[in-house]
Amino acid sequence: MEFTGFCPQGLDLLIENRMMDSPDFYEAHKADIKRLAIEPFYALCERMREDMLLIDPLFVTAPSRMVSRVRRDTRYTKDKTLYRANLWLFFRRPRAQFEEVPFYYMELGPDFWRYGCWGGFGRGEMAEARDMILREDKLFLDAYRAVQTVPEMHLSGELYKRPKHPEAKEIYQPWLNRKQLGIDFEETQNFDPVFDGSFVPLMLERFAKLAPFYHFLCTLRDRAKIGQGGRA
């Protein structure tokens, strides 16, 4: 299946399904949800596959393991709504259940679409990141410069209330004070690029530019995992 863009009717159906919040409604419209909402995501996975494997040949590339489910897992949340109105895909390495690993993503919701790259989740990873930043490690500098090449995207991640290293260079403060590290592009007004598919080449170009950032995040995970980033 060739990716030619997302279907407005598919997004409308996801919204209606969430509003109805009914297993009966979902079952009655399951085939249409798959055809209009899920299959375009599968096609996008295939469209991105070759370019993304150049960044990391260890990425999982089976669409069924990359695309989110319409049915929500409500076991560990106060929000018991059964279905979601947004869907997303991940490019990431194989992982154990509930394990968080660095990833690229693309997400489409009722009032936004976005994409980016995230990591720095596990115990010790951000401690390792702060150490590398303060030492101006080459891998960090490569990641820092890569982020500067995509000014349309913004550095993200929950911030600490107090600076971790107020004495450090001002340009590094947005990196040092994060609980995780991510970089995102988000659009809330113009949906034409996702409906006609024209967003894909620019997204892939930006993802390629961000490869040093992604590999920096992988290094944080690897070093923390072997005990070199033992601080929380």
The token duo for 135 is 């030492």
Q: What is the mean pLDDT of residues 74-91?
A: 90
DSSP 35: I
pLDDT given at position 177: 96
> Are 71 and 65 contacting, i.e. CB atoms less than 8 angstroms apart?
no
Question: Do you know the residue count of the chain?
Answer: 232
pLDDT given at position 229: 40
pTM for the complete prediction? 0.94
pLDDT given at position 213: 98
Residue with tokens 């600076």: 163
Is 67 inside any structural domain? yes
Is 3 inside any structural domain? no
Is 1 inside any structural domain? no
Is 157 inside any structural domain? yes
In this model, does residue 55 exceed pLDDT 60? yes
Residues 6+ apart with CB under 8 A from 87: 14, 37, 38, 41, 67, 68, 70, 107, 108
Question: What is the domain count for the chain?
Answer: 1
The token duo for 215 is 């590999």
Quick one: which H or E segment has residue 118? strand 112-119
pLDDT digits (tens, 9 = 90+) for 140-156: 999 999 999 999 999 99
Is 39 inside any structural domain? yes
pLDDT digits (tens, 9 = 90+) for 203-226: 999 999 999 999 999 999 999 988
Is 2 inside any structural domain? no
**Domain CATH code at residue 107:** 3.30.930
Residue-number span of the structural domain to which 48 is assigned: 8-230
Name the nearest CA neighbour of 87 among 60, 59, 114. Answer: 114
Is 65 inside any structural domain? yes
Is 163 inside any structural domain? yes
